[in-house]
Amino acid sequence: MFDIGFTELLVLALVALLVLGPERLPRAARMAGLWVRRAKASWYSVKAELERELADEELKRSLKDAARELHEAGDALRDGLRPPVSGGRADRTDAATPARDDRDDDKPGAGTP
């Protein structure tokens, strides 16, 4: 984390022993350990909360994408089920007029009454 080697740690302990003395050094080391432990716990707590928030955002984005795709599929299905809209009367066949059979025109005498 801080890239402190063994020699730097040894020099730091020696300076702490000289400054604090042998009576107060164990208590100061305990307090320093407690602070480091609390700092690590806080860091991991913040990190876990951030990861949860990012996971929640990813889940929300995924749900939103799935809902959009489902809506698009529903629209496509709805458009496919609608009957085609005719533009005019020429497209419709009238039930009152009989349909003409072109095969009858080929027979001899079919056109004469």
- Segment 27-82, tens digit of pLDDT: 999 999 999 999 999 999 999 999 999 888 988 999 999 999 999 998 888 888 87
| Spatial separation of the C-alpha atoms in residues 60 and 54, rounded to whole Å | 10
| Rounded-to-integer distance, Cα 98 and Cα 113, Å | 18
Provide φ and ψ at 53, rounded to 5°. Answer: -65, -40
Q: Is residue 86 scored above 90 in pLDDT? A: no
Residues 65 and 69: their CA atoms lie apart, in Å, by: 6
Res 46: pLDDT = 95
pLDDT digits (tens, 9 = 90+) for 87-108: 555 555 555 565 565 555 556 6
- The pLDDT assigned to 35 comes to 95
Q: How crowded is the C-beta side of 34, counted as CA atoms within 13 Å?
A: 6
Residue 76 has what pLDDT? 86
More confident residue, 1 or 81: 81
Cβ-based neighbour number of residue 25 at 10 Å: 15
* 3-state DSSP assignment of residue 7: helix
d(Cα 18, Cα 37) in Å, to the nearest integer? 25
CB under 8 Å to 93, separation ≥6 — which residues?
99
